Amino acid sequence: MKASDAVLTPIHKEGHRFIAAFFAVSLLLFYFIMPALGWVGLIITLWCIYFFRDPNRFVPTTEGVLVSPADGTVSAVVDVVPPAELGMGDEPRVRISIFLSVFNVHVNRVPAAGKITGLAYVHGKYLSAAAEEAGEENERQLVRMTTEDGDDIAFAQVAGLIARRIICDLSEGDEVARGDRFGLIRFGSRTDIYLDKGMTAAVDVGQTMIGGETIIAHRA
71: domain CATH number is: 2.70.70.10
One domain, residues 23 and 101 = no
Number of domains in the chain: 2
Walk across the sheet containing 165-168 and list its strands.
107-109, 181-186, 165-168
- Half-sphere exposure at residue 108, Cβ-oriented, CA atoms within 13 angstroms: 31
Q: Is 189 a catalytic residue?
A: yes
Is residue 56 situated within a structural domain? no
Q: With contact defined as beta carbons under 8 Å apart, do 76 and 192 qualify?
A: no
Identify whether 60 is part of a domain: no
Asked whether residue 25 is domain-assigned, the answer is yes
| Mean pLDDT, rounded, for 51-68 | 90
Question: pLDDT tens, 31-56?
Answer: 777 777 777 777 777 877 777 788 88
**Is 25's pLDDT higher than 70?**
yes
> Rounded to two decimals, what is the model's pTM?
0.81
Residue 116 domain-assigned (yes or no):
yes
Q: Quick check: bond before 18 cis, omega within 30? A: no
Query: What is the domain range of residue 10?
Result: 5-51
pLDDT tens digits for 167-193?
899 999 999 999 999 998 876 688 999
Is residue 1 predicted with pLDDT exceeding 50? no
Q: Are residues 26 and 108 in the same domain?
A: no
Q: What percent of the chain has pLDDT over 70?
A: 84
Looking at the fold, whether 144 and 175 belong to one and the same domain comes out as yes
Residues 89, 163, single domain; the answer is yes
For residue 85, being part of any structural domain is answered with: yes
Q: Please check whether residue 58 lies inside any domain of the structure.
A: no
Residues 31 and 96 in one domain: no
What pLDDT does residue 5 have?
45
Identify whether residues 143 and 92 lie together within a single domain: yes
Nearby residues of 220 by Cβ (< 8 Å), 6 or more positions away = 198, 199, 200
The reply to whether 57 falls in a domain is no
Q: Please write the tens of the pLDDT for every residue from 75-131.
A: 999 999 999 999 999 999 999 999 988 888 889 999 999 999 999 998 866 655 555
Confidence check: pLDDT of 214 > 80? yes
